[in-house]
Structure 1
Amino acid sequence: MTDLFSVTGRTVLVTGGSRGIGEMIARGLVEAGARVLVCARKPGAAEAVAEELSKTGECHALQADLTSTSDIARIVETVGERFGGRLDVLVNNAGATWGAPLEEFPVKGWEKVLSTNVTGLFELTTALLPALRASGERPARVINIGSIDGLRVPVFENYSYSASKAAVHMLTRHLAKRLAGEAITVNAIAPGLFPSQMTRWLLDDPEGRAQVESGIPLGRMGQQEDIAGTVIFLASRAGAYLTGAVIPVDGGVSGTA
């Protein structure tokens, strides 16, 4: 039982891994001994994180946009180069958001978010199925990062974001059913409030932050160990019998609404 939660040596791709929740996940996995490839859309962002995390363990970087078919092909190629074509864990974290009043919500705010959060996730996952099938760890793991905004109606007017995350949750269940026979599990995590680029506008306001945190049953926002610990559980032997689940990591918000 001593290695029940071990991810030592496992090959992991984390999309959107240069900041926020993705960076927390990548950092936690590297510190736990996994071999991690961090992918980010912004040039130089993944490289900066990988350089820092490489002081602790093995971490590689790749700049790629999940809305680009050619970039998805480069991700698959890089997995082949770095990990010998074998991927044990895929963490689909990359995402976008958009907020606007209902009658002013732009088409581009819908298309950008759905293209990144749903279409990009689906296309990357299917493109990496050969690498997941080649995993030496059975089952291989796909971990999708959804949101509690896909579980309950959000406070803010982020229509495309909440719709996309609800889609991620259902896609998780559908893929889990389809891939279970191939020894690939698919689960989702639905985070609540965590410090990130998406929430900075709210958290930079002390009054706004206090108001939001007061609505969380556990009284605080999420921290690195909360999200990284859940990913490590799902990626380890401890999580091998779980598939098709959507796990809220939100301090009790969705469970008490």
Structure 2
Amino acid sequence: MSNRAASQKPSLDVSSLYGVKGKVCVVTGGATGIGKMFAAAYVQNGAKVYIASRKIQPLQAAADELNSWGPGKAIAIQADVSSKAGCKALCDEIRKHESKIHILVNNSGVSWGASLNDFPEKEGWDNLFSLNVKSLFYMTVGLLDLLEKDSTNTEPARVINISSVAGIVPIAENPLSAPGQGTWSYAASKSAASHLSRSLAASLAGRSITVNAVAPGVFPSRMTAFGLSKHEDKLVATQPTGRVGDAQDMGGLALFLASRGAAHITGAVIPIDGGASLGAKL
């Protein structure tokens, strides 16, 4: 091998491709469930992570636990991102402490189950779309200057939106909802979140910011707690892999999307559901 060829050898070791050490991250809904899984993956690999949620006690407890895992750092910020004003308040608070954000994970979300003939407008549609869709937009726009700063096309900033396979599979009545009820607006909101992610990806690629969506299947969280407690066997039976997802599954994808290894991926909606959205067991 010539000296010239040797000097052009790419850095393909794990730490170069998938490391997040020293990066600054923001994770909404970071106290529990999938948001906490993302935060844990980053903290355990040396990143500084701001986790945000409405309730300060479980949020601080999550930050304390994440900090005990180290070597990175978790910082709790109480926030409600269900409105434009709430998103702005969180962005303003982040800006007090940081001049650069490498990773934004828009994870905050809510579901609502009710009967088809008596589905509420405010709780079922308005509030749900505010949190599941509008917050993705306003958080991204609110932190745009911090994301864009010092970003390049090989080291872009990352926006990762948490969507759902519910936005792909049009089934509103399932074991995750109570009998006789359906999550009609949830599936629509997650489809909107995925499409919004692609729209933002197209607009922000030239500013060295990638935008991708993660579409989880069944993972332990507050949203799935009812279904897993009542129908875990039935849910597992629909999984081609024979199990639901766990923190290592989600953490691996979290690290990939935030790393050099995913710098050339934008506008993707990535299912992480063990093949359940394929419609049949493998």
Distance in 2, matches of 1:255 and 1:152, equals: 9
Indicate conservation of the 8 Å contact 1:44/1:63, yes or no.
no
Distance in 2, matches of 1:94 and 1:135, equals: 27
1:187 corresponds to? 212
Q: CA deviation at 1:203?
A: 1.2
Distance in 1, matches of 2:241 and 2:172, equals: 19
Indicate conservation of the 8 Å contact 1:179/1:185, yes or no.
yes
SS of the aligned residue for 2:100 comes to coil
CA deviation digits over 1:173-196, x for unaligned, max 9?
A: 110001011010000000000011
2:156 corresponds to? 139
Indicate conservation of the 8 Å contact 1:79/1:87, yes or no.
no
Q: CA deviation at 1:135?
A: 4.5
Aligned length: 254
Distance in 2, matches of 1:134 and 1:46, equals: 28
Q: CA deviation at 1:252?
A: 0.3
1:123 corresponds to? 138
Please tell me whether residue 88 in structure 1 is matched to residue 113 in structure 2: no
Q: CA deviation at 1:136?
A: 5.0
SS of the aligned residue for 1:90 comes to strand
Q: What does 1:1-257 align with in structure 2 at a 5 Å threshold?
A: 1-2=12-13, 3-55=16-68, 56=70, 57-83=72-98, 85-108=99-122, 109-136=124-151, 138-156=155-173, 157-205=182-230, 208-256=231-279
SS of the aligned residue for 1:141 comes to strand
Q: CA deviation at 1:160?
A: 1.0
Percent of counterpart pairs with the same letter? 43
CA deviation digits over 1:181-240, x for unaligned, max 9?
A: 1010000000000011111111112xx111111111001000001111101100000000
Q: CA deviation at 1:96?
A: 0.7
Distance in 2, matches of 1:78 and 1:27, equals: 22
- TM-score normalised by length of structure 2: 0.87
Distance in 2, matches of 1:241 and 1:67, equals: 31
Distance in 2, matches of 1:197 and 1:233, equals: 25
Query: Where does structure 1 lack aligned partners over 5 or more consecutive residues?
Result: none
Distance in 1, matches of 2:135 and 2:28, equals: 10
Query: Where does structure 2 lack aligned partners over 5 or more consecutive residues?
Result: 1-11, 174-181
Indicate conservation of the 8 Å contact 1:87/1:135, yes or no.
no
Q: CA deviation at 1:153?
A: 1.1
Distance in 2, matches of 1:96 and 1:45, equals: 17
Q: Which amino acid aligns with 1:10?
A: K
Q: CA deviation at 1:72?
A: 1.9
* 111-120 or 240-249, which deviates more: 111-120
Q: Which runs of 4+ in 1 moved over 4 A?
A: none
Aligned-pair RMSD on alpha carbons? 1.3
Distance in 2, matches of 1:12 and 1:135, equals: 15
SS of the aligned residue for 1:210 comes to helix
- TM-score normalised by length of structure 1: 0.95
SS of the aligned residue for 2:27 comes to strand
